[in-house]
Amino acid sequence: MGIVEEAHNVKILGSGEQTVVLAHGFGTDQSVWKHLVPHLVDDYKIILFDNMGAGTTNPDYFDFERYSSLEGYAYDVIAILEDLKIPGCIYVGHSVSAMIGVIASIARPDLFTKLVTVSASPRYLNDSDYYGGFEQEDLDQLFEAMRSNYKAWCSGFAPLVVGGDMDSVAIQEFSRTLFNMRPDIALSVLQIIFLSDLRHLLAHVTVPCHLIQSMKDLAVPVVVSEYLHQHLGGKSIVEVISTEGHLPQLSSPDVVIPVLLRHIRHDIVV
């Protein structure tokens, strides 16, 4: 295994002809896909990896300059696919990794047959003609809370993001992976995510996109999925699912897994 694969804890499962890449969002790691993997392993080759900065990666490898924008993560995805000689993958990206996939697909559309996104947003801040869900003041308070007491912030942030029952296994799981991140890295990563604006890139996407969105998501309002649908350059389809929270593949797998499998297996019919 090469340096890139080792740094990102790349795991390859299954032996199907088609490759599915599973990319996790902020505060999690590849374990967030544990409910989906068993349903794919018999029919697909699966690539799992951890984004740099995740608690499972070596914090010494985290280059604050490289990861001062989402392009750094997109280049990592491209490097992994190139190293593994993947001709064209079905890329499933959650949250920020959905947009990392968008960036990577613009640079190298040949590496992707389609993108399946869960809880994707091109911009979190509200704008004069755009509703992202957050005001700058909201984010300033969030970042300050992270700086002052990271552990306490994790305990409060996890239930809000996951939603549902306070004692749920999903909240415990997200709290664990979130707390495993080094606080200064977590703050840097979340600032980059929440302050990014990728709306100008959407028209350049040519790879088909399947957009899956929770009906109730604190981080991403439902209208954002429709915005993506209207502005993506290639074919796209939206499915809003009757789930609550930003990590439905962890908190509501019974609802989400069948939807994900359908979008992975079937292409958009025009």
Catalytic center residues = 95, 217, 246
Q: How far apart are CA 209 and CA 223, in angstroms?
A: 16
CA dihedral 28, 189, 187, 8 (to 10 degrees): 50
Task: Provide the pLDDT for residue 187.
Answer: 98
Task: Provide the pLDDT for residue 164.
Answer: 76
Which tokens sit at 163? 């939603």
Rg of the chain on CA atoms, in Å: 17
Residue 130 DSSP label:
B
Task: Provide the pLDDT for residue 2.
Answer: 75
Amino acid in position 257: I
User: Low-confidence residues of the chain, pLDDT below 50?
Assistant: none
Task: Provide the pLDDT for residue 243.
Answer: 95
Domains and CATH numbers, the chain: 3-265 (3.40.50.1820)
Is 45 in contact with 18 (CB distance < 8 Å)? Answer: yes
CA distances from 195 to 71, 127, 142 (A): 14, 12, 12
Task: Provide the pLDDT for residue 242.
Answer: 95
pTM of the predicted model as reported, rounded to 2 decimal places:
0.97
**Contacts with 139 (C-beta within 8 Å, 6 or more apart), sequence order:** 124, 125, 194, 195
Task: Provide the pLDDT for residue 130.
Answer: 97
Strands 209-216 vs 112-118: parallel, antiparallel or unpaired: parallel
Amino acid in position 261: L
For 180-225, the pLDDT digits (tens) are 999 999 999 999 999 999 999 999 999 999 999 999 999 999 999 9
